[in-house]
Amino acid sequence: MPALTPQSGSFAVIRIAVIIAFVQFTNALEYMMFNPLFAYMASQFSVPVTYAGYVTGTYTLGSVLSGLCIWKWIDRVNAKRFLLWNMALLGALTVLITFTSDYTLLLVLRFMAGLVGGTTMGVGMSLLISLAPAALRARMIATVIAAFSVVSIAGMPTMLFLSTHFGWYSATRLIGLLCLIGLLLIAGFIPDAPRKIAPKSSITMTPEWLFFASGNAIAQFTPMLIIPALVPLLTQHMQAVSASLPMLFFIGGIAGLMATKLTGKLLAHWSSYTLAVVSTLILLVSMLLPVTGLHASALFMGLFLSGAYGRLVVVSCVTTRFPNETSRAGFLSLQTALMSLSTTLAFFVSAMTFEIAAPLPILFWVLVAGSALLLPPLIKRMEKRLARREA
């Protein structure tokens, strides 16, 4: 497909955003599905169900290592070709799991998948931002982030349904099919971005780089503290019945999807700081529901995921203004690695501080509120630095 020109219509950019969102959906679903699916897989690999944490952890480790190792030179590769190879490898590594019953080999395959998955979205987002006009970037970023909501709405229920009725093999093979579809879409409809070779000095790690690259990780830390505790919060403290959990996650996914789209549109009219404050307040209000003992689980899920995704859209739109065209893929790869580190740290902290028994632990809620309140002043500081640089 020929490269886009400045005169290209917005439809072409929207089409590219939808394809990158599909890649994001496939990548996120492939990572997220193994935790619940391991209940179906454990007997095949002759290990306890609790070993699912090792499966997830090896993927995260691979993701962190790949991001930290390649961020300096990733801008020198052909982004479209890189995406094609990554989707092919991700599909192959996931399907290969169906041909083994050795747990050690499973961990090796998940580690290798993490090496691939840890760089895919950094390159994909870089390609999209390079091709999108500045006026459309916020909406396009929101479109890609909305893929996470679609994982909750459609992806995970589908994988659980397939595993229940046709075996867990069907879920991993579906990922292979989705990767193949992604390959065809990338090859047929995404153009090559203009290649700009960056001098080595322009992609040296500096405190400023680390400051902006860590923004998404800080925004994500708060919801990742809560996610491991979601089910006990809903069932033990808000009296939701187990049978209602799929519907509650569906409601949350719909709310998150609407929040991402709305935030992307509002960024054209409101400041990033204002939207960061609003999204953070929504997130904190959701936390008051289980604390006060209100049995409003659907409202909690809607507010929680709306606030979480709104914050992620805001900080993503701010941080993507920092790197120049020649270092964007490296910056986003480093950003992805830091997000994986943040997620891992949040999961460990959540496990150490959250307790099911009432009353809810004060330390856990202090960490939730304190980490959430970091984002608005962080956004304000980022905007000031960007304004000085762009002046």
What the chain holds in terms of domains, given with CATH numbers, is: 1-195 (1.20.1250.20), 198-391 (1.20.1250.20)
Q: What separation in angstroms does the CA of 388 have from each of 42, 137, 275, 391?
A: 54, 21, 21, 5
Q: What's the whole-number mean pLDDT along residues 150-175?
A: 90
Question: Is residue 136 predicted with pLDDT exceeding 90?
Answer: no
Question: Is residue 181 predicted with pLDDT exceeding 90?
Answer: yes
pLDDT of 315 reads 96
Question: Is residue 4 predicted with pLDDT exceeding 70?
Answer: no
Lowest-confidence segment of 126-135, 200-209, 256-265 by average pLDDT: 200-209
Q: Which amino acid appears at position 375 of this protein? A: L
Maximum average pLDDT range among 29-38, 167-176, 185-194: 167-176
Q: What is the 3-state secondary structure (H, E, C) of 306-333?
A: HHHHHHHHHHHHHHCCCCCCCCHHHHHH
Maximum average pLDDT range among 9-18, 26-35, 36-45, 370-379: 370-379
pLDDT of 46 reads 92
CB 356 within 8 A of CB 263: no
Q: Exposed (0-12), middle (13-18) or buried (19+): which is 388, by Cβ within 10 Å?
A: exposed
pLDDT of 358 reads 60
How confident is the model over 223-246, as pLDDT tens digits? 988 887 887 888 888 888 877 877
pLDDT of 5 reads 47
Higher pLDDT, 47 or 275: 275
How confident is the model over 206-223, as pLDDT tens digits? 889 899 999 999 999 999
How confident is the model over 115-125, as pLDDT tens digits? 998 888 888 88
Share of the chain above pLDDT 70, in %: 93
Higher pLDDT, 9 or 84: 84
How confident is the model over 38-95, as pLDDT tens digits? 888 989 999 887 687 788 878 888 888 888 888 777 778 888 999 999 999 999 999 9
Question: Is residue 198 predicted with pLDDT exceeding 60?
Answer: no
CB neighbourhood size of 102 (10 A)? 11
Question: Is residue 36 predicted with pLDDT exceeding 60?
Answer: yes
Query: pTM for this structure?
Result: 0.81
pLDDT of 171 reads 94
Tokens of 30: 């492939």
Mean pLDDT of the chain: 87
Report the C-alpha gap between 63 and 332 in whole angstroms.
13
Q: What separation in angstroms does the CA of 23 have from each of 179, 186, 217?
A: 8, 9, 21
How confident is the model over 299-330, as pLDDT tens digits? 999 999 999 999 999 999 999 999 887 788 78
Lowest-confidence segment of 76-85, 178-187, 328-337, 377-386 by average pLDDT: 328-337
pLDDT of 334 reads 86
pLDDT of 201 reads 45
pLDDT of 194 reads 63
